[in-house]
Amino acid sequence: MRTDTGQLFRLEDYRPTDYLIPETELVFDLHPERTIVRATLVVQRREGVDISQPLILDGDELKLVSLSINGAPLGENGYQATPDRLEITDLPEENRFTLEIVTEINPTANRQLMGLYRSSGVYCTQCEAEGFRRITYFLDRPDVLSVYTVRIEASKQQAPVLLSNGNPVETGDLGPDRHFAVWHDPHPKPSYLFALVAGSLGSISDSFTTRSGRKVDLAIYVEHGKEARALYAMDALKRSMKWDEDAFGREYDLDVFNIVAVSDFNMGAMENKGLNVFNDKYVLADAETATDSDYAGIEAVIAHEYFHNWTGNRITCRDWFQLCLKEGLTVFRDHEFSADQRSRAVKRIAEVKTLKAHQFPEDTGPLAHPVRPRQYREINNFYTATVYEKGSEVVRMIRTILGPELFRKGMDLYFERHDGEAATIEDFIKAFEDAAGLELSQFALWYEQAGTPNLSVSFDYDAAEKTFAIEFEQSLKATPGQNRKKPMHVPIEFGLIGPDGREIVPVSADGMEVTGNVIHLRQRNETVRFTGIEERPVPSLLRGFSAPVTLASELPREDLIFLARHDGDPVGRWQALTKLLTGKLIAGVKRVRGGKAPLIGVDIVGLVGEIVADETLDPAFRALCLTLPGESDIAREMGSNIDPDAVLASRDALVKAIAVAHAKPFAMLYDALVNRGVFSPDAASAGRRALRNSLLDYLSVAEGNPSRAAAQYHASDNMTDRAAALGVLVHRFGGSESAAAALAAFEARFGGDPLVMDKWFSGQATRPGAAALDTVKDLMRHKLFSLDNPNRARALIGAFATANQTGFNRADGEAYRFFTETILKIDRENPQLAARLLTALRSWRSLEPVRREHARAALALIANADKLSTDVKDIVERTLG
């Protein structure tokens, strides 16, 4: 493990390299513990660079075997090599020369899953962000683009499948035991997009013909026996390829496209050129083993990685500060894809929920950073919800401001200008400015200023003048390193609704810029005045969640109820309902803390029942409305002095009130929604299951016993219904015989499949209450559990720390102490994973004082431990900072 170097990287220090590497030839002689890599690099000295400038290459835990230039071995005085750096001073005079570097690496010992490693016996690579330097010495940075030719030699028996980027060139025999394959990728690419896979794998294949008639061979490689579980991913891939042609005019550019699923992977998946490597969680699915949300996740991630071929690969990032250039944009593209494949409104609400759950707490906590950070100590810690999710929201706002046509024109211009280049956010913004003839410098603050802006809004209707005024005030709190903020350009989609529920179109608007249904807020304080408004309207603001802001509006409760019933924008309806529910839940928390029972009014209970019963609405939308804000949503909205036990009590009380009030119609609807016919993962069927499974939870609460959930568990023919029933049994009736029986049945059925067992681990880790800690400790000793496997660690430790508010935040602080020890253990093997899990403590300051002190002490234990990785040290210091 590399321990902290204390180095800080700054955007303003960016400088191009003195040398380029236009061509890279790699020969891998693969052996489990002793792999030899011969890199032959064509090195080019940039014009104007003096010959005295050394060539300094990055490395990480490398062992140098030999070094030569233009075929002649280099003398010992000509270079200096350490495991993490190679400096060559004895360079030839000509500006172009060939450098040959031979290194030795040990894939089996590589437990941090960066560089070349083995996962269940399969050799695979992960190079983003700085993993290539663990394979050979290189200019391992995204602005150095090279054309790669790769030759892989390996055991025929251990590795019948040999894959790399680009197109296959040649395969052949090397005697009785070994064979080779050669791959060539004609598209220059940065080293982080390099990939190699070698192993014994099953596969499925298909093909796609692009719109210009190029036939592309597609294949997905998985563990033997799991081929059928890759069919949905293949279908999603073909739909993605078609969609990128239709929606963005982007065609695929190689003869083959390969995907490999591996079981040890730090992230979701990786967009290596022509050879995407996936966490198997985002490839494998069938009715028996995957839930509807697994299917949706696979569709989204397959699309995301495929879309990177243009946004990320053909146009890459100049440096890692520009990470959102590829990630925010590609998330935006995969969101649009899923919205087109499914229900747009439901998809949008799901996005808003995710953004608020993961990005908003980042923005208000100690790890807050701009969408484009200006400094980092460890780039691995910046693959965040801010860079990805908020980065996508920023692109979405550009489209809202420009409109779909100009947005597309801007994207086309961006592709045209920067294809084959390593670009910056400035380049991206410029393309839209030029395409639209607009100036976006104020808008660009969205990339620079961290934090979630808050809009305070008040309204004034003048019946005599027939005008309706909306007054805005925007504010943005200080974040680490940014004390003073400037006002931003916030596009606010809106509608005015008349008493009859119909949209009112104002005669005119003055005081602010209004284009169509968008108000452009640009100053700290601004007022827009609509004229020709015959009756007092109900305003619906931030329709479609048009900007990642919080809204503090003084809209009366009756208006919120009106919007929850009548807003023509489903996102607006859901936002109004959520606001009402959250207010009720927070009031309940306060009463519980004062030793009283929460008060629950009939209107809100009735409203939920009304929406759930409304057959004109999409079941998926009704399911979203029936699912109350979660415990962490409530905590986030409260902001400080959180007592998770009181939050849970308040939420449970509202669930119970709704359940009891509507037990009869809910039971009828539950029966009516039963699955008929064969399982299909399509959005409509998934929506019906989501509604039915949400009803199951309420009905079980109303009935006060586990029989309904137990019956559903044992009758289910698909994982969505089975997992939902298991959740109700374990979370509502944990410790009961029915819960134990279902857990045993699940283990008996899926005990051979660790990926499926992750649901079993998470389900138990998230059972509310203090007892979960002992369960988690027991499960760590389960034969399928291993802290080394990222999916296992996330399913048990990650789920416990992020999705079990009462269990993790036990008042005695025991869970924090356990968590601390576990993080330190993981850090010894896999720093990236440890650091990511540790972010679960980022909101520690918002806890009530007793828990806050326990959390602080646990963090201090980590901070004071010796031999911390750069990754964990960076997170812990910023979290405490």
Residues of the shown chain interacting with ligand PHE in the complex, contacts defined by CB under 6 A: 126, 128-129, 267, 269-271, 304-305, 327, 383
Q: Which entry of ligand PHE, Zn ion, none binds 341, CB below 5 to 8 A by partner kind?
A: none
Least separation in angstroms between CB 582 and ligand PHE: 31
Please state the closest distance from residue 353 (CB atom) to ligand PHE, in A. Answer: 20
Tokens of 360: 């908003």
Nearer to ligand PHE, 302 or 647 (CB): 302
Euclidean distance between CA atoms 605 and 601, whole angstroms:
7
DSSP per-residue letters across 808-870: HT-TTSHHHHHHHHHHHHHHHH-HHHHHHHHGGGTTGGGB-HHHHHHHHHHHHHHHHSSS-BH
In the complex, least distance from residue 642 CB atom to ligand PHE, rounded to whole angstroms: 31
Which of 383, 530 has the CB closer to ligand PHE?
383
Q: Of residues 305, 362, 378, 389, which has the active-site annotation?
A: 305
Pull the structure tokens for residue 854: 């326990």
Residue number, 151 or 390, with CB nearest to ligand PHE = 390
CA–CA dist 471, 338 (Å, integer): 35
Q: Which of Zn ion, ligand PHE, none does residue 323 bind (CB under 5 to 8 Å by kind)?
A: none
Among candidate residues 2, 143, 190, the one with its CA nearest the CA of residue 84:
2
**What phi and psi, each to the nearest 5 degrees, are found at residue 563?**
-65, -40
Q: What are phi and psi of 477, to 5 degrees?
A: -70, 160
**Torsion of the alpha carbons at 155, 156, 160 and 163, rounded to the nearest 10:** 50
The Cα 722–Cα 714 span in angstroms is 8
Residues in contact with Zn ion, shown as a per-residue x/- string from 314 to 343 under the rule CB under 5 A: -------------x--x-------------
Closest separation in Å from C-beta 343 to ligand PHE = 24
For ligand PHE, the closer of residues 266 and 553 by Cβ is 266
Q: Shortest distance, CB of residue 432 to ligand PHE, whole angstroms?
A: 23
Spatial contact of 824 and 790, defined as CB atoms under 8 Å apart: no
Query: Is residue 273 a contact partner of residue 166, using CB atoms and an 8 Å limit?
Result: yes
DSSP state of 333: H
CA Rg value for the chain: 28
Residue 107 or 544: the one with the smaller Cβ distance to ligand PHE is: 107
Q: Cβ closer to ligand PHE: 690 or 833?
A: 833
Q: Is 389 tagged catalytic?
A: no
In this chain, which residue has its C-beta nearest to ligand PHE?
Answer: 267
Shortest distance, position 316 Cβ to Zn ion, whole Å: 12
**Rounded Cα distance, 580 and 561, in Å:** 8
> What is the amino acid identity at position 737?
E
Nearer to ligand PHE, 164 or 632 (CB): 164
Return the SS3 of 270. Answer: strand
Distance of alpha carbon 381 from alpha carbon 34, whole angstroms? 30
Q: How far is the CB of 387 from Zn ion (least distance, A)?
A: 10
* Least Å from the CB of residue 829 to ligand PHE: 17
Give the 3-state secondary structure of residue 275.
strand
Question: What is the per-residue burial (b if ≥16 Cβ within 10 Å, else e) of 363-400?
Answer: bbbbbbbbbbbeebbbbbbbbbbbbbbbbbbbbbbbbb
Report the distance separating Cα 468 and Cα 533, nearest Å. Answer: 7
Q: By rule CB under 5 A, what count of residues binds Zn ion?
A: 2
Of 192 and 713, the one with the shorter C-beta distance to ligand PHE is 192
Query: CB 846: neighbour CB atoms within 10 A?
Result: 18
What residue ranges bind Zn ion (CB under 5 A)?
A: 327, 330
Which residues belong to the active site? 305
